[in-house]
Amino acid sequence: MNKTLLTITLTGAVAAISACGGAATNTANNSATKPTNANTTANTMAPANTATAPAETGPMVGGAAMLKSKDIIDNAVNSKDHTTLVAAVKAAGLVETLKGAGPFTVFAPTNEAFDKLPKGTVDTLLKPESKKALTGILTYHVVAGKMDAASIVKAIEDGKGKATFKTVAGGTLTATLEGKDVILTDEKGGKSKVTIADVMQSNGVIHVVDSVLMPK
């Protein structure tokens, strides 16, 4: 009877030890195979933010984009259609003026506009002794303030078909409409059409014109 009891007791002890060992093993396995936190994985694998601001754009003049962040001179020097104007501005010593705070409204003649002048006129104007005359012509193309096309057209309509603007040179330009085109008439009766309007600058606005405007 005692032998039987001892056998039963030992058998129970072995079973208990096996059960404890199995639980420990299962616990370890469960811990080792526990999945990684999804949020941690996502944050670790997420690509870096490489987004950049879109490049600045502007209307094309002379093969170059005219940017609002640049001033009148910095934009004009990039236009292949305004190399003569830029050379004239430099010869007249007006670079710093047109890089100033302004604002200015500039009617900018193209190279072809200067080519319409009598032969030799441009070469003569670019000479040092012609600086005063050149300055007078260039500043005749500038009006103080920032006047976009809508403002010019409104002034023409308010003036019953005609608007007069005083230039930095002291003379006047007369603006009229021919259809949808703004036409500028100088003090000598010469006419120039705005071919590209509203080229906005950091210190004003440029309107490209197809003829050089001449003061008295």
The answer to whether residue 9 scores a pLDDT higher than 80 is no
Mean pLDDT of 45-65: 67
Sequence spans of domains, the chain: 2-45, 60-209
Per-residue DSSP letters for 37-52? PHHHHHHHHSPP----
Report the 10 Å Cβ neighbour count for 162.
Answer: 14
What pLDDT shows up at residue 185?
97
Per-residue confidence (pLDDT) for residue 67, from 0 to 100:
87
| Number of residues written out for the chain | 216
Q: What pLDDT score was predicted for residue 71? A: 87
Segment (H or E) for 98 = helix 95-98
What digits encode the pLDDT tens for the residues 132-157? 999 999 999 999 999 999 999 999 99
Cβ–Cβ under 8 Å, residues 174 and 185 = yes
2.120.10.30, 2.30.180.10, 3.40.50.620, 3.40.800.20: which CATH number matches 60-209? 2.30.180.10
